[in-house]
Each structure stands twice: as C-alpha cells, then as structure tokens.
Amino acid sequence: GVGMGMTAPVSITAFPAEDGSLQQKVKVSLRIPSQFQDNPPRPSDDSIKIEERQEMTIYSTQFGGYAKEVDYVNYAAKLKSALGTEAAYRKDFYFCNGYDPPMKPYGRRNEVWFVKE
C-alpha cells in the first residue's frame, strides 16, 4: 500500500545455459529507496521477497539503446572474452541492469555485471 516510485537500476539475474543463451528462469530485483531500507514495507504478494544484497565486486560493461535479451547475451559474451581465463567470477549467473524509464528515447544506459569470486 506504499508507493515508492521507480528505482534504478532494475536488475535482472540471468542464468546462462551452456551455449550462452539465457534459461527461462530469471529474477527481477528493484532497489528499495533509501528512506524505506531500514524498515521496508511488507509485500502483500507471497511471490515478492525482500532480500539484502551483500557487498560485491563486479566486472562490468556498459551499452546504450533499448536493451533486449539478445543485447545482454551479446554484451555478456564480450565481457567474458575481455576478461579471458585469468579473472575469477561467478559463471552460474550474471546481472542485466537497466537505468532508464521506458519513455527515455536517447542516452539510455544498460550494464552487464559479472560478480568477482
């Protein structure tokens, strides 16, 4: 019953298949605004969970435009290639992040994050 407005980034946890495509399971995360973080409103829908994301170090790449699944997959592949075999990061998931509302046509910001191990 509490309106919190749009937060950024909208973060989608992607679970890549062996071929790099995304599995059909995803988790969408929205940041709780600062004023609600100490005492977040309780969700009325049991499918919505509040979780605290622990501090992490990430490897990231940024790109523009209206991001589609294929864009995130392609940029994840580019980031993987840029990191090579020396960087240790989680391979079982990565984050796809969007920072802009749908009505913003130009100067859009999207990122792919790999979590450092």
pLDDT digits (tens, 9 = 90+) for 2-54: 777 778 899 999 998 888 777 777 788 988 888 888 988 888 899 989 998 88
Rounded Cα–Cα distance for residues 21 and 72 (Å):
10
Residue 4 lies in a domain: no
Q: Which two tokens stand for residue 53?
A: 């994301």
Calculate the CA 2 to chain-centre distance. 24
Rounded Cα–Cα distance for residues 93 and 103 (Å):
29
> What is the domain count for the chain?
1
- For 45-56, the pLDDT digits (tens) are 999 899 988 899
| Domain residue limits at 96 | 10-34+55-115
Residue 18 lies in a domain: yes
Instruction: Quote the pTM value.
Output: 0.87
Q: What share of the chain is helix, strand, coil (3-state, %, to 5)?
A: 15, 30, 55
The CATH number for 66's domain is 3.20.80.10
